[in-house]
Amino acid sequence: MNEKVRAYLDRIGYQGGTEPTAETLSALQYAHLITVPYENLDILRGRRIRLDLDHLYEKIVVHRRGGYCFELNKLFGWLLRELGYQVTDYVARYWRGETEIPTRRHQVLSVVVPGTKEEYLCDVGVGAVIPLYPLPLRFGEEFDQNGPVYAFREDERFGIMLIERHDGGWRDVYSFTREVQYEPDYMFASFWCEFAEDSIFNKAPMLSIRKEGQIRCTLDGNVYRVFSPEGVTEKTLAENEVQQVIRDVFGIYLDE
């Protein structure tokens, strides 16, 4: 194992085996989600998002920052490839909360375990609720992840749709097709997220991290929330409190 992979595993607090199995894949995704925050702080500071692997590694592993989907899933995909998994990146449409057809502004990973034909959907790049563990990419089945229940459906226009049980029914989360994607596709989508007038990513701080025990902490603007099985707590923060939460909860120490 090379030093960069070892440092990445240390960054996410992973101490298990590295044989590329389904069990390892599940443990890696969980470890990533509870240690590396989702965050858009560089966009708000006017620092261009760079998607080259060297920069992402420096930002997320060396400087212990987070990022958003195009950063987090790209680097996680690199880690999985280094460990021996077969990984394919796709650009997705994020449907949750949308009333019109959304642009392709999300990145997801298809991962195949070596020596098997089992394909998994992996994603460590969403600030809202997403699967804590990889989902076998099979239709006609439901996957209960200790409360949240997910499934896939085939959509005639939008390809593979991840859906979640919600209010007694099912709700679309995001969709993707099998079309081959290239670096400019992700660069274009990320550029839209950075600069488009309609983008939600360039308006206010958006941070999220999962914690042990089905807990999720978020910071939206100056509103800090903690979601747990017992309910939701919410607090509106003063500016000095915002910076303290960014440091203490999300582990982010910004340079000048």
Report pLDDT digits (tens) over 143-196: 999 889 999 999 999 999 999 999 999 999 999 999 989 999 999 999 999 999
Whether 159 maps to a domain, the answer reads: yes
Query: Catalytic: which of 32, 42, 69, 172?
Result: 69
Whether 207 maps to a domain, the answer reads: no
Domain residue limits at 56 = 3-201
Whether 189 maps to a domain, the answer reads: yes
Query: Catalytic: which of 106, 122, 172, 217?
Result: 106
Does the annotation mark 42 as catalytic? no
Whether 76 maps to a domain, the answer reads: yes
Question: Using 50, 70 and 90 to split pLDDT, how confident is the model at 256?
Answer: low
**pLDDT tens-place string over residues 219-249:** 999 999 999 999 999 999 999 999 999 999 9
CA gap 250, 255 in Å, rounded? 15
Does the annotation mark 193 as catalytic? no
Whether 253 maps to a domain, the answer reads: no
Query: Catalytic: which of 42, 89, 122, 123?
Result: 123
Does the annotation mark 123 as catalytic? yes
174 touches 155 (CB < 8 A): no
pTM of the model: 0.96
Give the number of other Cβ atoms within 10 Å of residue 67's Cβ: 25
The token duo for 166 is: 């919600």
Residue 222's pLDDT is what? 97
Whether 221 maps to a domain, the answer reads: no
Give the number of other Cβ atoms within 10 Å of residue 172's Cβ: 18
Number of domains the chain is built from: 1
Whether 255 maps to a domain, the answer reads: no
Whether 230 maps to a domain, the answer reads: no
Instruction: Give me the CATH number covering residue 33.
Output: 3.30.2140.20
